[in-house]
A and B are shown apart, each in its own frame.
With several copies, the nearest count.
Chain A
Amino acid sequence: MTTTVLLFGQLQEITSKHELQVNEMADTHTLLAELSRMYPAIATAKYMIAVDKQIISGNTKLKDGSTVALLPPFSGG
């Protein structure tokens, strides 16, 4: 199974990536551990997580084709 990860704001800057694909991630905790390994700065960054555009809290199971977005604090307006 494949998960699409979207990175915004500071996180996009830190990773120099807006979008990446990762495979075989069963849940968001596993995914975040992997992302923090790939980009250590993510481990200390402040962000919320949206799975398929819904903000989640706690560990969440991922389906094949899910999109996980890492959202730094909003600053619109």
Chain B
Amino acid sequence: MSKERILKNIFVKGAIGAAFVGESIQKHSAQTSIGAHSIFLGQVRADLMDEKKVSAIEYTSYEPMALEKMHEIRAFIFAKYELTCMHVYHSLGKVNAGEISLFVFTSSAHRRAAIEACSETVELIKKELPVWGKEIFEDSSHQWKTNT
């Protein structure tokens, strides 16, 4: 079995639905040791640049490397914080303005671990995951997104 095959997938095709987020929360109601959930959602902005508006972002990734990197991030975060669980989903392909492209969900007995783990995971994803966003304008021209 190759190493990749056992890595948890985080990629989903297209936007992440709000209802999916609701269902993910619902699944945790049986875990009664959880006291706090922290959720981050990245939503595609209709930014205006030189009078052109972003209508969507198209995401691509170097998937095998991204999944290995996410595995490392997950191990690091679980070692650092007392978490019950962590779920990460990132879109690939086209996500329209107003839709969700990143969903990070951490749970813990206590709020500080959940909140800090979520926040740090988001930073590491933005910084370390080989994912690229191509901002597509309403006139079909594009530019490459940059993270800050």
* Touch between chains A and B, by CB atoms below 8 Å: yes
Chain A contact residues, CB within 8 Å of chain B: 6, 8-10, 12, 50, 53, 69, 71-77
B contact residues, total (Cβ < 8 Å): 27
Say if the beta carbon of B65 comes within 8 Å of chain A: yes
Query: Given A9-B60, A53-B68, is A75 in contact with B146 using a C-beta cutoff of 8 Å?
Result: yes
Query: Given A6-B62, A50-B62, A77-B101, is A71 in contact with B130 using a C-beta cutoff of 8 Å?
Result: yes
Closest to A12 in B: B60
B49 smallest CB distance to A (angstroms): 14
Query: Given A8-B130, A8-B132, A50-B130, is A77 in contact with B62 using a C-beta cutoff of 8 Å?
Result: no
Q: Which residues of A contact B131 (CB under 8 A)?
A: 74-77
Q: Is the interface of B mostly helix, strand, loop or mixed?
A: mixed
Say if the beta carbon of B98 comes within 8 Å of chain A: no
A70 to B145, CA, bound (A): 17
Q: Which residues of B contact A50 (CB under 8 A)?
A: 62, 65, 130
A77 to B64, CA, bound (A): 17
Say if the beta carbon of B126 comes within 8 Å of chain A: yes
Q: Is the CB of B62 within 8 A of A76?
A: no
In the complex, chain B residues 66-93 whose Cβ is within 8 Å of any chain A Cβ: 68, 90
Q: Which residues of B contact A53 (CB under 8 A)?
A: 62, 64-65, 68
Say if the beta carbon of B127 comes within 8 Å of chain A: yes
Partner of A9, one of B64, B128, B144: B144
Q: Is the CB of A75 within 8 A of B144?
A: yes
A44 to B68, CA, bound (A): 29
A18 smallest CB distance to B (angstroms): 9
Query: Given A53-B65, A69-B65, is A75 in contact with B147 using a C-beta cutoff of 8 Å?
Result: yes
Q: Is the CB of B145 within 8 A of A71?
A: no
A8 to B102, CA, bound (A): 20
A69 to B62, CA, bound (A): 9
Q: Which of A6, A10, A75 is packed against the most chain B CB atoms within 10 Å?
A: A75
Closest to A6 in B: B62
Partner of B126, one of A8, A10, A74: A74
